[in-house]
Amino acid sequence: GESVGLHLPTLSVQEGDNSIINCAYSNSASDYFIWYKQESGKGPQFIIDIRSNMDKRQGQRVTVLLNKTVKHLSLQIAATQPGDSAVYFCAENSGGSNYKLTFGKGTLLTVNP
Amino acid sequence: GAGVSQSPRYKVAKRGQDVALRCDPISGHVSLFWYQQALGQGPEFLTYFQNEAQLDKSGLPSDRFFAERPEGSVSTLKIQRTQQEDSAVYLCASSSVTRPVVGSYNEQFFGPGTRLTVL
């Protein structure tokens, strides 16, 4: 069935290091993929998205890489800061839907000062 | 308000009770979504409104779950005869697009959620 999953449930890094969060997906029909950040007690917050016809997209301190060959998505955070500590979810538009999102399980990122 | 608001933030119900969860989307946003997020899991889609029309309710887990948005703004998610497995955070999100475009991401803005605990 359709699924979006994560390789690592937890990731602990030192402040200033770069972080890489990985995600595997199984639905080849998805048109775009999104990374969300969720802090404790808050709703998910959009970070960056990438369309299926791209393999890389950069934002402020973040880069998303998409490898359609192996159905793999990653989020790279440069110079990780304590404020980056949160759960990170990847999501995809379900089966090419123009509104329905399928979320992965999430990775808890902890940044140590 | 500046963002999506939800109330109450926390709700404790005894098994068998009915609950109603409210969502106030960003003013003017046409699309509204409800998600269920179990502990340690990602959000799962429940239902989608475009204005007052409920266009997709395929994610509602049972007929005990009912959502409405009668005037195309505020929405209520109602759960009848709550069960312990209904315990979760219920997230509401809204989006400004009138007609979502296939192949493009139409950003959904999430509220803080309502944490429902059924005893």
Residues of B in Cβ contact (< 8 Å) with A98: 100-104, 106
- Residue B117 contacts residue B8 (beta carbons within 8 Å): no
CA separation for the pair A110, A21 (Å, rounded): 12
For residue A1, the model assigns a pLDDT of: 37
- Residue A36 contacts residue A101 (beta carbons within 8 Å): no
For residue B98, the model assigns a pLDDT of: 59
Q: B7-63, pLDDT tens digit by residue?
A: 999 999 999 999 999 999 999 999 999 999 998 899 999 999 999 999 999 999 999
CA separation for the pair B90, B99 (Å, rounded): 25
Say yes or no to pLDDT of B83 above 80: yes
Residue of A nearest to B43 (CA): A103
Distance of CA A8 to the CA centre of its chain: 12
Q: Hey, is the C-beta of B56 within 8 angstroms of any chain A C-beta? A: yes
- A46 φ, ψ (degrees, to nearest 5): -60, 135
CA separation for the pair A101, B31 (Å, rounded): 14
Contact flag A103-B42 (C-beta cutoff 8 Å): yes
What's the rounded mean pLDDT across residues B70-83? Answer: 97
Q: Which helix (H) or strand (E) holds B68?
A: strand B65-68
- Residue B100 contacts residue B48 (beta carbons within 8 Å): no
Contact flag A43-B91 (C-beta cutoff 8 Å): yes
* A97's tokens: 């839907």
For residue A8, the model assigns a pLDDT of: 47
Residues of A in Cβ contact (< 8 Å) with B33: 99
B62 Cβ contact partners less than 8 Å away, ≥ 6 residues apart: none
Residue of B nearest to A53 (CA): B103
Contact flag A105-B40 (C-beta cutoff 8 Å): yes
CA separation for the pair A52, A95 (Å, rounded): 12
For residue A99, the model assigns a pLDDT of: 83
Residues of A in Cβ contact (< 8 Å) with B103: 31-32, 51-52, 98
* B56's tokens: 């997709």
Contact flag B42-A106 (C-beta cutoff 8 Å): yes
Q: What is the pLDDT along chain A (113 residues), one digit of tens a residue?
A: 334 544 448 999 999 999 999 999 878 788 889 999 999 999 999 999 999 899 999 999 999 999 999 999 999 999 999 999 999 999 998 766 778 889 988 999 999 98
Residue of A nearest to B99 (CA): A98
For residue A3, the model assigns a pLDDT of: 45
Q: B99-119, pLDDT tens digit by residue?
A: 555 556 778 999 999 999 999
CA separation for the pair B80, A61 (Å, rounded): 45
- A96 φ, ψ (degrees, to nearest 5): 85, 10
Contact flag A105-B108 (C-beta cutoff 8 Å): no
Provide the 8-state DSSP code for B30: -
| Residue B26 CB neighbours (<10 A) | 17
